[in-house]
Structure 1
């Protein structure tokens, strides 16, 4: 039964055309990051980057090196699109994207994490076996079919993402339109659409459409009777997100995934008429079966477990931020805060506190995160410690911080008596110096 479910051969037109879309989009992501100024603002201008804790060895290339880095990524994306040395190009882009992802988190985005997962998945998929330079150079690679597990892998991954995104929205500040109101207020200056988004009916629509679409899009795409309707609705939803939230390639990538939901005959007819359509439905059990199934099980256990981890960490994740990342908690809160850092020289007998001017060390974007997120505060304290150590000074770093979530009254966020320069970071549990409230 499992062999028939996973290893029945089906037409591969959907995977081949998706590879073309995917390659183009990841190339656009890399090249666009240069021309929109993202690379400059995020990786070149800062004095240092806030990497994922534990990845301190990942640092931006000096000078204008990151422009070349992203240009090379863009070239690998184009090579994926045309299917030239497909797996090598896909692996190279994945490694380079992972480097960027773990190198900085001032511009953290759930979609960047999703892209990393998709890149890893695409490495193992047989997406270069048709309509590719590889096949043109070596016709023996040509195949018109693929195992069914390819489609199942992608659908399950997407289902996990969308389901967690929907469930995370089921909390008071989302359901009473607070989040939608705050999100739209920040876009009031948009021409034409900006004033429309300030209406209460717009907040209600964004709130409930966001939950229902995320919760139902995968089941309704799987059901033939509702497939075309939800696809059309998806076009509106993703274009709205692209225009209003400006989240890069991801609305278009989401639309590209639709090729895996429509009938194989239809995808073949629309995109690949000249290709022979596969209908044999052979069951071919590959030698890699003994590796594929355990690895897939482990992969999905991790994907299901990571978004649940915040339930095992004391405190509300919306307040503490502990367990927020890698959890598909998309656009759920707005944070603002007033945070000051004070340095005390251990050799100063009077223990005088010196306030740190954050503008001297951080960009505006980094300051917004340092003002409200505990891991950024801890990392900035570590940065100050290293900087003063280079001058031969041993210091303590204290933080006075008050934070507001979703426009609510600010509360003291960090224990002001704790020296953040000399405490360790607890990666898998709570950090006691982040204050909790009932």
Structure 2
């Protein structure tokens, strides 16, 4: 008779929550900690010459909804603030008082971010989020001053959730940025066509910037890159090619567009999709190439057993990870709760990874009316707002409303208690004909800031003859 082969049943796979607390090599997290700290020090240094321009000189700072209480430090306080930020970034780099340094940097950098809405950039928001999760990621257990001073802290491993949390935070802007590009304007090459044309005077590459094939190469290349870079980095077979593509993409972005350190942060972060021991492999490879003596091998430790039940602290951490992940996945989708095109109304645009999707040009003129006398006049904005703020607020209804209230409060203080403020704001979106963004008949002093849909924002539609006539009032 033929013998039957008996196979041992494979052990049941551990539940997801248990695998999240399993160990992975800490090397990649340590490298990311060092890279993040160094780049943040560079960012702080880059800001120092601009502190007065952005945070001290403006008489008005555009605030975020709910954060109107955030104000710049008095006197030289902003310079001290950036000095503390630089020191915190240094401590993150070397792993000295790491968790305290990460918390200080997160709070200080977020404070700087919240000071001025006219300075909003998606990459600054992302840096705030990365600084936040770094508070919890135990990236100081190796190659750090903390681990040197406290030997009991030293580990060659970190829990897998720490690695997955960083990968998630880095992957979300890519994926959501790609999905946001699936819109008619981007697919027809706008606003990329306009931005490239502005760079046509650059040496060597300038003449290429107005070529249609270059426009569509950048538009569709950016779309495909954002959509597929994360899955390509997660798959072992495509990972090396995807990483080369990521380096090329960020190098081109960094040289064509003015986006600060963002390309270099993302290039460094993309390494987090490689196996977590890649720094050790790279070190060994480099040692062989340079014919260096191999490092003393450490005895292999048996893998730590996965937990069979969660302790109270692990339950709290798992709850935090679930809530944080849900927020990061759902909050960028809130623009679907508002009517109209988010690129026009701006409702739900910020914090949604809608990067480089719209270009708005236009102007804003404010008219005050004293209802007691019926007198109306145009408000002179000189000395009330900086030019760089004006260029940013032109197409942003919420900022137009903030300035209207600021101007109205000044006139009330001058003795016009019931002053009315109206705005004429013709705006062009992605090269279209200008249209009024704000209803010119609405008294903005009676409009309160709100998260509800704004009825005072006009829908995107051609101007009526009466509205066109009002342009002459500007």
Query: Is the CA contact 1:31–1:71 (under 8 Å) kept in the aligned structure 2?
Result: no
Structure 2, unmatched stretches of 5+, are 1-14, 285-294, 462-474
With normalisation by structure 2, the TM-score equals: 0.87
Pick aligned residue for 2:360 from 335, 340, 353:
335
With normalisation by structure 1, the TM-score equals: 0.94
Question: Is 1:81 aligned with 2:103?
Answer: no
Pick aligned residue for 2:166 from 154, 157, 160:
154
Structure 1, unmatched stretches of 5+, are none
CA deviations 1:401-422 (Å, max 9, x no partner) are 1111001001121111211122
Question: Is 1:117 aligned with 2:129?
Answer: yes
- What does residue 66 of structure 1 align with? 78
Query: Is the CA contact 1:341–1:398 (under 8 Å) kept in the aligned structure 2?
Result: yes
Aligned pairs, number: 433
- What does residue 207 of structure 1 align with? 219
Cα distance in 1 for partners of 2:298, 2:233 equals 26
- What does residue 436 of structure 1 align with? 459
- Structure 1 residues 267 and 331: alpha-carbon distance in aligned structure 2, compared to 1, 3 A threshold: same
- What does residue 282 of structure 1 align with? 304
SS of equivalent to 2:362: strand
Question: Is 1:104 aligned with 2:129?
Answer: no
Shift of 1:274: 7.1
Shift of 1:212: 0.8
- What does residue 301 of structure 1 align with? 326
- What does residue 396 of structure 1 align with? 420
Query: Is the CA contact 1:11–1:278 (under 8 Å) kept in the aligned structure 2?
Result: no
Query: Is the CA contact 2:28–2:278 (under 8 Å) kept in the aligned structure 1?
Result: no
Query: Is the CA contact 2:435–2:460 (under 8 Å) kept in the aligned structure 1?
Result: no
Cα distance in 1 for partners of 2:79, 2:52 equals 8
- Structure 1 residues 275 and 261: alpha-carbon distance in aligned structure 2, compared to 1, 3 A threshold: farther
Question: Is 1:18 aligned with 2:32?
Answer: yes
Shift of 1:70: 1.4
- Structure 1 window deviating more from structure 2 (290-299 vs 95-104): it is 290-299
Query: Is the CA contact 2:428–2:434 (under 8 Å) kept in the aligned structure 1?
Result: yes
- What does residue 444 of structure 2 align with? 420
- Structure 1 window deviating more from structure 2 (360-369 vs 330-339): it is 360-369
Shift of 1:7: 1.3
Shift of 1:284: 4.5
CA deviations 1:100-137 (Å, max 9, x no partner) are 11111112111111111111111001011111111122
- Structure 1 window deviating more from structure 2 (46-55 vs 168-177): it is 46-55
Shift of 1:271: 4.8
- What does residue 287 of structure 2 align with? none
SS of equivalent to 1:264: coil
Cα distance in 1 for partners of 2:338, 2:58 equals 32
Cα distance in 2 for partners of 1:227, 1:274 equals 30
- Structure 1 residues 130 and 197: alpha-carbon distance in aligned structure 2, compared to 1, 3 A threshold: same
- Structure 1 residues 275 and 81: alpha-carbon distance in aligned structure 2, compared to 1, 3 A threshold: farther
Query: Is the CA contact 1:4–1:283 (under 8 Å) kept in the aligned structure 2?
Result: no
- What does residue 466 of structure 2 align with? none
Alignment of 1:29-44 (within 5 A): 29-35=43-49, 37=50, 39-44=51-56
Larger Rg: 2
SS of equivalent to 1:403: strand
CA deviations 1:283-338 (Å, max 9, x no partner) are 35463221122222211221121221111111111111111001000000100112
